[in-house]
Structure 1
Amino acid sequence: MSTTTTAVINLDVPGPTISRHVYGHFAEHLGRCIYGGFWVGEDSDIPNEGGIRLDVVEALRALSIPNLRWPGGCFADDYHWRDGVGPREDRPRMVNSHWGDVVEDNSFGTHEFMKLCELLGAEPYVNGNVGSGTVREMSEWVEYLTRGDDSPMASLRREHGQDEPWKVPFFGIGNEAWGCGGNMDAQHYASLARQYGTYVRNHGENQVYKIAAGANVDDYTWTETLMKALSCLGCSRTPNNFFQGLSLHYYTHTGPWEDKGDATSFTREEYYLTMKRAARIEELVRGHAAIMDCYDPERTVGLIVDEWGTWWNVEEGTNPGFLYQQNTLRDALVATVHFDVFHAFADRVAMANIAQTVNVLQAMILTDPDSGALVLTPTYHVFEMNTGHHDAQQLPVHLKGDLPTREVEGSALNLLSASASTKGDTALVSLSNLDAEGPRTVVLDLRGRAVSAFSARLLGASDIQAHNTPEVPDAVAPVLHTGIRTHALGLEVDLPAHSYVTVSLELAP
C-alpha cells in the first residue's frame, strides 16, 4: 500500500542559482574512456570527425554537457602535455602506470581534447601536473592554450595548426595530492598550490578559474589547510586569489576497497547500504562547506566535487585496471541523491564531475568493443531528465508528514529524496523513492504561483538490478508518467518502488 508525504514548495521564493556545471563530466586516460570511447581514430569504420566518435558526441550533446575534465585523475600527474601536441606520428609513447600499465601513443592530446569540447559544446576543464611536473610546464600549457599574440607558446600552437587561442575557463592545480598526485601532506601541497596558482595566468580575455586539489572524503583538516592558504579565520576581506575553488572526492561502494561489491548482482541489504553511503555526500558537503564558511563567509570560493559516483568491482573478464562496470537502476538513484544535495548547497557547490563519462565507473555511455554498439546507461537518463535544473534557481523543498526511513548501519536512511528549481515561468521538481519494496505518494503543496500546466516522467524498472545492454538498450529508460493528478494543495504524484520522477511545471506569469 502506498503511503503519503507532503512536500511544500514556495514557487515564489527562489534561492541561489544551481550552476549547470554541477552536471559536469570527467574523461581520464583510463581503460576505454578515451581510446575506444571518445577516440576511435580517423581510420575507424565507426563514423567520426577527426578520430572523435560522433555517436558518443551526439548522445552527450543531448545532455547539454556543460564541462569536461581531462586528462585525469591520477593520470594528470604523470602527463606531460608537450608529448601530446604536434604531428601524431612524431609523438612519443608513454606508460599509463596507474591504469592497466598499458603503453599509450599520445594520439589523443591537447588539440584533440579541445576539438572534442567544441563538438560537445562543453567548456574544457584541464587538469595540470603538479606531482611530476614543473611550474614552468604548467604555466606554458596555459599560455599554449589561451594566448593570442606571438609569444613562444602561442607560436608553437600555430605551428601545430591552431591559429586562434582557445577559451579554457577551468584549470586544476594537480589531482589527489594526498595520494596518487604525490603523497603530500596538506601544508606542503597548500604551499605548492599557491606557487603553481601564481603562474596559471590569465592571457588576453581568458579568465581562468583555478581549482586546488582538495580533500579525500572527510579529511576536513586538508580543507582547512587550503582555506588558510587563502584567508584567515574571521577575516572579512576577500580571500587571496591563488585559486578560486577546491575539490572534494567521494565514491560510493558497499565493500572494502579490495572488494567494493558487484555492479549487477547485489542483495536488498546491499542496495540499502549503497543508498546510505550515497546519502553521506550531504554530511561531507555540509562539513567541508562549514569549514570554508569560517574563512570565506561570503562564499566566493567554490567547492568542486570533481570525482563522485559508484565504484564497483570490474566486470568479469575485463582488465582490472580499466575499471569497466555495468550501470543499473541502483546507480541512477545514487546520482539522484547526489544531485539533490548539490542543489541544496548551490551557494557553495560550484561544479561537480561524475566519474566517468564513457566505459569507466559510473558511466553515461558504454561502447561494445566488438560490435561497436553504444548503450545509454540509467545514469545517463538521470542527467537528461535534469537538464531543466541547469542554471535555474533553487527552490527549497520542505518535507512533512509521514517521512519514510529505514535503519541502515545503525541509523536512519531517508527513503525519499527531493529537490526543485525554477527558471522564468517554469519549475522542475525531482523526486526519488529509495524504498526498494513499496510505492509512495507525494503531495506537492505548491505555493506562491499558479500552475497552468504540468507533466511528469518516470525512470524505473521492475527490478533494482535492471540495466541496459546492446541486446536490451531500453530496460531502464524514461517514460511519460501517468501517476500524477491535481490535488487541493497542488499536485499528487505516485512514486513506484525504487524509482525517479521529474515533474515539469508551467507557471502563470
Structure 2
Amino acid sequence: MVKKILLVHVFFFLGVSFLSVQAQTEIKLKPADQPQTISKHIYGHFAEHLGRSIYDGLYVGDTSKIPNTDGVRNDIIQALKDIDIPNLRWPGGCFADTYHWKDGIGPKEDRPTIVNQWWGGVTEDNSFGTHNFLNLCEELDCEPYLAGNVGSGTVQEFTDWLQYVNHAEGSPMAKLRKENGREEPWDVKFWGVGNEPWGCGGNMDAEYYADVYKQYATFMTSWSNENDLYRIASGPSGGDYHWMEVLMSEIPKSLMEGVALHSYSVIDWENKGPATGFTEDHYFSTMTEALKMDEYITKHSEIMDKYDPENEVGLIVDEWGGWYDVEEGTNPGFLYQQNTMRDAMIAGATLNIFNNHSRRVKMANLAQTVNVLQAVALTKGSKMILTPTYYVLKMYKVHQDAELIPVEFNSPDYSFNGKSLPAISVSASRAEDGKVHISLTNIDAKKSNTVKIDLSGLDLKKLSAEILTSDNLQDHNTFENPEKILPQAFTKFKNRNDNLELEIPPFSVIVFEAE
C-alpha cells in the first residue's frame, strides 16, 4: 500500500525549514459495502454550568451593553450558526446531577441562588434556565440535548421536566409552562439519564446504575408519535469495557436508544501540563491519549455488536477534547484554558475517527462551547475570539449527514523518543449534492508527509482545498491578535490522471472539495 521511495529534501513552509525523510502515503477511496451516513450530530457541542461557560460566556443577560438576543451574545450565536451546530448538551456534566430544573423557571427575581459545588464553589442566581436554553436552541436551529438529574433527583422530578418541555396541554406541567410564557412545547428528543454515575453522578457500580437507568427510562414518554424520545444511558469512561458490557446485557433495547462514552485527552490527571507553553513531550503524550479514541470506539462497538447486531443503539461520545492545567491566575474550578494548534490536531484526528466509525457513533459533543476546556470560542468583556478548534469544525462541517466513503491506507509514523504514532488520519464523504470531501490531518510536530490519493472512479473534475496550520504548535489566537490562525486556501497540490498528490505540512489540517 505504501511505496517505499525515500526522498531526502529540505521543505520550506511558512518560513520554517524541515529536514525530512519521507515515504509517499497512498490513500485509496473505496466503495462502501453498505451505504453509511455520517450523522450531523457527531458535530455536537456541550455547555455546562461551569466557570464562565454560561455566565459571562454564552449568557450576559438582556440588560447587557454587549449585543444579545434574550441575554445570549449575538457574536456567539452567529459563530455557532456558521459551523452548523447540530445539537447542544446542557446543563452538565457533573452539574446536571445537582441541578433542579424548577429553580430555573418562573420570574427571575423569585429564583433561588444556588452553590455550584462541583465547579469553583461559586453561587449563581439561576437566571439562565430551561426557557433560555431551549429558546437558544431554536435560535440556533439545533437539537437540544438535556442531561437529567439522577444523582440527587427523583424519577418524579425527571418526568415532570420531560412533561414541562414536551407535553402540549392538559397536564400540570404543561399548564405551568404556559403560565411561564411558553405556549407550545419544545418537543425535546435527546435526553441523558444522569451523567458519569461511576464518578460525580453517584459513585455507582455498573450493575446498580443499570437498574436505576431502567427505573427512570420506564417512566419516560414523549406523548407524541412524531418525536419519540432518544434516551441515552450514561456509559463508560475510556476503556471501561465492563461498564459497557453490563449496560448492553442488562438494559433492554426497548428502553435505550444510546449509550454515552466520555474520553478526554489528558496526560496525567494530577499534572495535566500547560495549555500553551507545552513541550513536544507534552504534545506527543496528549496525542497518544487522543488517538486512543479509535481503540475505545472499536472495542466498545464490538461489545455493542454482540448484544445489538442490528445496530439499533447509538454510541454517543458526549464528552471529548483536550484537558490541561488552567490558565495562570484563573479559578482552578473554572477550567479556562487557551486553545492552540495542538487542539486543532486533537479535533481533526478525533473527527476523522468519528466519521470512520459512523456506523455506530451517532452523536458526539465537544467539551465545551465557550471559555471551558477545548472551547470553540473565548470571551473577554465585549470581545470574542474563535479558536483553532472552531476552524477545524467549520472546515469539517461538510461531512454532516454526508455518505461515508471508506478509505484505505497505511499511515507513516510520527516518532518521538523511541515511540511512534500514526501521523496521518483521513476521512471522506459524498454530500447530497454529489460533492466529495476529504479531510486530512498530519499530527507530526516536525515533518511534512507526501500523500497521493486515488480518485479514480469518482468522475471528479474540479478540486479546491483549505488548510489550517501555523508556524508553531503553541500558536493560538488572542484578544490582541484574534486572527493569527485562520483557514487559508491551499493550492500546493497536483491532480494527475485522477491521482491527487500533495505534501501535508507538520501539524496541519487540510480539507479538499471535489466535484
Q: TM-score, normalised by structure 1?
A: 0.95
Q: Is the 8 A contact 1:10 1:448 kept in 2?
A: no
Deviations 1:436-471 (Å, cap 9, x if unpaired)? 111122111013221111100000001010100111
1:426 partnered with 2:435: yes
1:381 to 391, 404, 408: 391
Q: Is the 8 A contact 2:452 2:499 kept in 1?
A: yes
1:50 partnered with 2:70: yes
2:15 maps to which residue?
Answer: none
Task: Give the letter aligned to residue 249 of structure 1.
Answer: H
Deviations 1:105-127 (Å, cap 9, x if unpaired)? 00000000011111111100000
1:236 maps to which residue?
Answer: none
Per the alignment, do residues 408 and 180 of structure 1 end up closer, same or farther by CA in structure 2, a change over 3 Å counting?
farther
Deviations 1:50-99 (Å, cap 9, x if unpaired)? 11111100011000000000000000000000110001111111110000
2:96 maps to which residue?
Answer: 76
Per the alignment, do residues 300 and 410 of structure 1 end up closer, same or farther by CA in structure 2, a change over 3 Å counting?
farther
1:131 maps to which residue?
Answer: 151
Deviations 1:361-382 (Å, cap 9, x if unpaired)? 000000014xx21000000000
Matches within 5 A, 1:76-475: 76-204=96-224, 205-231=226-252, 240-254=253-267, 256-369=268-381, 372-400=382-410, 403-407=411-415, 412-424=420-432, 425-475=434-484
Find the residue that maps to 1:165 and give its secondary structure. Answer: coil
Q: For 1:450 and 1:116, how far apart are their aligned partners in 2?
A: 42
Deviations 1:257-306 (Å, cap 9, x if unpaired)? 12111100111222122211111100111111111111001111011000
2:496 to 479, 487, 492: 487
State the 1:408 CA deviation. Answer: 5.6
Per the alignment, do residues 12 and 454 of structure 1 end up closer, same or farther by CA in structure 2, a change over 3 Å counting?
farther
Q: For 1:303 and 1:449, how far apart are their aligned partners in 2?
A: 31
Q: Is the 8 A contact 1:10 1:446 kept in 2?
A: no
Task: Give the letter aligned to residue 471 of structure 2.
Answer: S
Task: Give the letter aligned to residue 265 of structure 2.
Answer: T
Deviations 1:19-58 (Å, cap 9, x if unpaired)? 0000000000000110011110011010011111111000
Q: Is the 8 A contact 1:28 1:72 kept in 2?
A: yes
Q: Is the 8 A contact 1:11 1:447 kept in 2?
A: no
1:26 maps to which residue?
Answer: 46
Unaligned ranges ≥5, structure 2:
1-8, 10-19
Find the residue that maps to 1:17 and give its secondary structure. Answer: coil
Per the alignment, do residues 22 and 409 of structure 1 end up closer, same or farther by CA in structure 2, a change over 3 Å counting?
farther
1:497 partnered with 2:509: no
Q: For 2:60 and 2:344, how far apart are their aligned partners in 1?
A: 28
Find the residue that maps to 2:133 and give its secondary structure. Answer: helix
- Identity, in percent, stands at 50
Task: Give the letter aligned to residue 338 of structure 1.
Answer: T
Q: For 1:55 and 1:73, how far apart are their aligned partners in 2?
A: 25
Q: Is the 8 A contact 1:406 1:413 kept in 2?
A: yes
Per the alignment, do residues 406 and 449 of structure 1 end up closer, same or farther by CA in structure 2, a change over 3 Å counting?
closer
Q: For 2:416 and 2:206, how far apart are their aligned partners in 1?
A: 33
* Range that drifts further, 481-490 or 298-307: 481-490
Q: For 1:407 and 1:250, how far apart are their aligned partners in 2?
A: 24
Matches within 5 A, 1:57-72: 57-72=77-92
Deviations 1:384-403 (Å, cap 9, x if unpaired)? 00111000111111114xx4
Task: Give the letter aligned to residue 97 of structure 2.
Answer: D
Q: For 1:53 and 1:170, how far apart are their aligned partners in 2?
A: 25
Q: For 1:339 and 1:422, how far apart are their aligned partners in 2?
A: 16
Per the alignment, do residues 287 and 313 of structure 1 end up closer, same or farther by CA in structure 2, a change over 3 Å counting?
same
Root-mean-square deviation over aligned CA pairs: 1.4
State the 1:206 CA deviation. Answer: 2.9
Q: For 2:31 and 2:193, how far apart are their aligned partners in 1?
A: 40
Q: Is the 8 A contact 1:14 1:395 kept in 2?
A: no
Q: For 1:447 and 1:209, how far apart are their aligned partners in 2?
A: 40
Q: For 2:281 and 2:233, how far apart are their aligned partners in 1?
A: 37
Q: For 1:294 and 1:21, how far apart are their aligned partners in 2?
A: 24
Per the alignment, do residues 155 and 46 of structure 1 end up closer, same or farther by CA in structure 2, a change over 3 Å counting?
same
Deviations 1:411-449 (Å, cap 9, x if unpaired)? 531011111111231110011111111112211101322
Task: Give the letter aligned to residue 440 of structure 1.
Answer: N
State the 1:346 CA deviation. Answer: 0.5
State the 1:167 CA deviation. Answer: 2.0
Deviations 1:180-236 (Å, cap 9, x if unpaired)? 0011111110001111011121122331100011001111111111101235xxxxx
Q: For 2:499 and 2:141, how far apart are their aligned partners in 1?
A: 37
Q: For 1:10 and 1:257, how far apart are their aligned partners in 2?
A: 40
2:16 maps to which residue?
Answer: none
Q: Is the 8 A contact 1:253 1:277 kept in 2?
A: yes
Q: Is the 8 A contact 2:339 2:375 kept in 1?
A: yes
* Range that drifts further, 434-443 or 25-34: 434-443
Q: TM-score, normalised by structure 2?
A: 0.94
Q: Is the 8 A contact 1:312 1:325 kept in 2?
A: yes
* Range that drifts further, 448-457 or 320-329: 448-457
Q: For 2:227 and 2:181, how far apart are their aligned partners in 1?
A: 20
Q: For 2:35 and 2:426, how far apart are their aligned partners in 1?
A: 15
